Amino acid sequence: MKTSTAPRPTTSAFRVIRRRRNTRALVVTCSLTLAVGALFVLTMMVGSFQLTAGEVIASVLHLREDPSVDFVVQGLRLPTAASALAVGLALGAAGTIFQQLLRNPLASPDFVGINSGAGLAAITGIVLLQAGGLAVSGLALAGAVVAALLMYVLAWRDGVAGYRFILIGIGATLFFDGLIGYMLTRAQLSDARQAMHWLTGSVGQADAAELRLLLGAVVVLLPVALVLQRQLRALELGDDAARALGIRTELSRAGLLATAVVLTALAVAVAGPIVFVALIAGPIANRLLGPATGGIVPAALVGAALLLVADLVAVHLLPTPLPTGVVTGAVGAPYLLWLLATTNRQGAGG
């Protein structure tokens, strides 16, 4: 009697499900890429001097020379649009790494002390050292790294548990915010005004050197995050399961945290601590992905789309132009309240 070599129904079903997940992830990623590209161009079209999409694309790609169009696009609007794009990509990727690594939807650089640590170092440089440009970027990066190391050491108890890290991060955030308030009271009026504008968050305040540094970091670190995504998915299952799969848990966790911290720190240095983008980009991407959740690239693209839209609203749709962080805060605060309420209802609120 011959033994059947046909694949088992469960194996066949698994392959179909995996194919559908991969197809959906590809479709969502491509759609988000097109949406971000359209928003990027739209950001440079609108304003007191209206431009067509063709004029913007031709100027950005240097396809033809038009001094007036080139001045508006390359000199005035492209730096702001590129800043919104890069900061959104960085915050979206960093936020979803934190949320998956700590297995908690509340895990975000906004709430675990990373933003506040970077902000404290940058504000100290602005107030005490009259620093600017790349010096502020360097200080923000150092502050974020120190804050991350401090919380990692404090949260370590034979491993890093999500809720413990988040609670320590919230305490560190309050402590750093208190120090920021003290620094502002010691500042001259002009320095305090500059510092407060920086703390509100705006994508139009970076200089060329800071922007190039962030763009370079995004180009390098997003592929690194993709390489580490397999380890990230394994760590979501818990340390014991990850070790059984051959993952070096602490080394992988340290690499992922370092990637997220550097992305966050440079984004904060370029645009200030823009809130809630890192918090909501990952959950929105997961809703779009359906069963194919956890994609770092889709979350980064959602972050870029959110920040480009927020900048359009802040500059062009409100009666008075406002910093971008005001719009993201106004949208993100209700989402946070909803998230806290639904998390608590589901019994996952700790």
> What are 247-280's pLDDT values in tens digits?
777 788 888 888 888 898 888 888 888 888 998 8
Tokens 């440009």, residue located? 133
Sequence-distant (≥ 6) Cβ neighbours of residue 45 within 8 angstroms:
51, 52, 53, 56
pTM: 0.87
Residue 230 domain-assigned? yes
pLDDT at 91 (0 to 100): 93
SS3 (DSSP) at 108: coil
pLDDT at 159 (0 to 100): 61
How far is it, in rounded angstroms, from Cα 295 to Cα 330? 26
SS3 (DSSP) at 156: strand
Q: Classify residue 71 by its DSSP letter.
A: I
The identity of residue 98, as a single letter, is F
Residue 304 · residue 35 · CB < 8 Å: no
Residue 336 domain-assigned? yes
Higher pLDDT, 300 or 157: 300
Distances (CA, A) of 64 to 67, 68, 69: 10, 12, 10
How far is it, in rounded angstroms, from Cα 184 to Cα 119? 12
Q: Find the distance separating the first CA and the last CA of the chain, reported in whole Å.
A: 58
Distances (CA, A) of 49 to 53, 182, 185, 299, 316: 13, 42, 41, 33, 12
3-state secondary structure 182-234: HHHHCCCHHHHHHHHHHHHCCCCCCCHHHHHHHHHHHHHHHHHHHHCHHHHHH
Q: Residue 249's domain is classified under what CATH number?
A: 1.10.3470.10
**Full domain range(s) for residue 320:** 20-345
Residue 6 domain-assigned? no
The tens digit of pLDDT for each residue in 314-338 reads 888 888 888 888 888 887 777 777 7
Tally the domains of the chain: 1
Residue 327 domain-assigned? yes
Residue 55 domain-assigned? yes
Residue 13 domain-assigned? no
Distance of CA 251 to the CA centre of its chain: 22
Residue 251 domain-assigned? yes
pLDDT at 164 (0 to 100): 77
Residue 149 domain-assigned? yes
Conformation bin of residue 52: beta by default, left when phi > 0, alpha when psi is -120 to 50: beta
